Amino acid sequence: MINLKKIEMTYDDHGTKINALKLKELQVKDGEKVAFIGSSGCGKTTLFNLISGMLTPTKGNVIVEDIDITTLTESERDLFRANHIGYIFQDFNLFPDFTVLQNVVLPMSFSKRYSKNEMEKEALSMLKRVGLENKKDQKVKTLSGGEKQRVAIARSIVNKPNVILADEPTGNLDYKNGAKIMDLILQIAKEEKATLLVITHNNSQLELFDRSINIEDLNEAIK
C-alpha cells in the first residue's frame, strides 16, 4: 500500500518559494497498476520522487509498505529505495560503458542483501526474463533503444522491489517497441506482484492499467 497524506512540496528557487505539489490524499493498493497522466510540470515526477524517497515533502507523510519514509534519515531512505523501489526512466539512465550484466548488478550492491555470487546469478536470471541473457557481456552503448529499456527493466526488478515507478518508459521508443516494452513492464510487475505506477502521455495505453489518475485534478498547487 502506498499512502500519501496531506502532502505539500515546496521548492526554494533563489529565495522564491514555488509550490510544486499539494494533495490531500493518494492511496494505491498493493499490486495495483496505476497510470499517471497530466501535462508537463503538473507534479507527476515530483510525486514519484516523493514515493521513492528521493525527495521529502515539506509537509505531510509518505507511507510505503507500512513505512513512513518521511520519518527516515536520508541514508535509511537510500536503503529503503534500494530494497523497495524499482525505477524505470524515459532516458533509460544506464551506464553506457558498462556491460549489460554490470548495469543490472549495480543496484544490488546498494541493497546490501546479496553476496557477489548471488548478485550475478540473480542478475542473469533477470536478463533471461527480459530476453537479453545472450547480450550480458555487451556494452550498453551498443544496444538499441528497446534493448536498453529491457536492461533498465531488468535492473529495476533485480532487488525484488514492492513498487515499480516508471517515468514515461516508452517516451523514447517507437510505437511498436513502446507497446512491447509496456507489455513487458506489466507482465513483470504482475509476476513480481509489485505495485506499478507509470507516468505516460500515451492515452492508448491507459486501458492496460487498473486505473489512471490525472495529477492535474489532484494537485491543488496548480489549480
Identity of the residue, 115 or 190, whose beta carbon is nearer to another protein in the bound complex: 115
Contact positions with another protein (CB under 8 A) in 159-178: 159, 167
Only one residue has cell 533477470, namely 126
222 binds another protein (CB under 8 A): no
Cα–Cα distance between 191 and 70 in angstroms, integer?
29
Cα–Cα distance between 163 and 156 in angstroms, integer?
10
117 binds another protein (CB under 8 A): no
Contact positions with another protein (CB under 8 A) in 73-92: 74-75, 78-79, 81-83, 85, 87, 89-91
Q: Which three cell numbers stand for residue 43?
A: 507534479
Report the residue from 35, 100, 105, 182 that binds another protein according to the rule CB under 8 A: 105
Identity of the residue, 106 or 210, whose beta carbon is nearer to another protein in the bound complex: 106
Is residue 108 within 8 Å of 114, Cβ to Cβ?
yes
Report the residue from 61, 102, 177, 202 that binds another protein according to the rule CB under 8 A: 102
- Cβ 21 to another protein shortest distance, Å: 12
- If one counts every other C-beta atom within 10 angstroms of the C-beta of residue 16, the result is 7
- Cβ 71 to another protein shortest distance, Å: 18
| Displacement of CA 52 from its chain's centroid (Å) | 8
Compute how many residues bind another protein; rule: CB under 8 A.
34
Report the residue from 4, 21, 100, 119 that binds another protein according to the rule CB under 8 A: 119
Only one residue has cell 550492491, namely 109
Report the residue from 10, 19, 34, 54 that binds another protein according to the rule CB under 8 A: 54
| Nearest residue to 186 (alpha-carbon basis) of 221, 157, 215, 218 | 157
Cα–Cα distance between 1 and 155 in angstroms, integer?
22
Identity of the residue, 136 or 155, whose beta carbon is nearer to another protein in the bound complex: 155
Cα-trace Rg, the chain: 17
Q: Which three cell numbers stand for residue 18?
A: 514555488
127 binds another protein (CB under 8 A): no
Report the residue from 97, 118, 217, 220 that binds another protein according to the rule CB under 8 A: 97
Only one residue has cell 539512465, namely 93
- If one counts every other C-beta atom within 10 angstroms of the C-beta of residue 193, the result is 10
Which spans of this chain sit near another protein (rule: CB under 8 A)?
45, 49, 52, 54-55, 74-75, 78-79, 81-83, 85, 87, 89-91, 93-95, 97-98, 102, 105-111, 119, 155, 159, 167
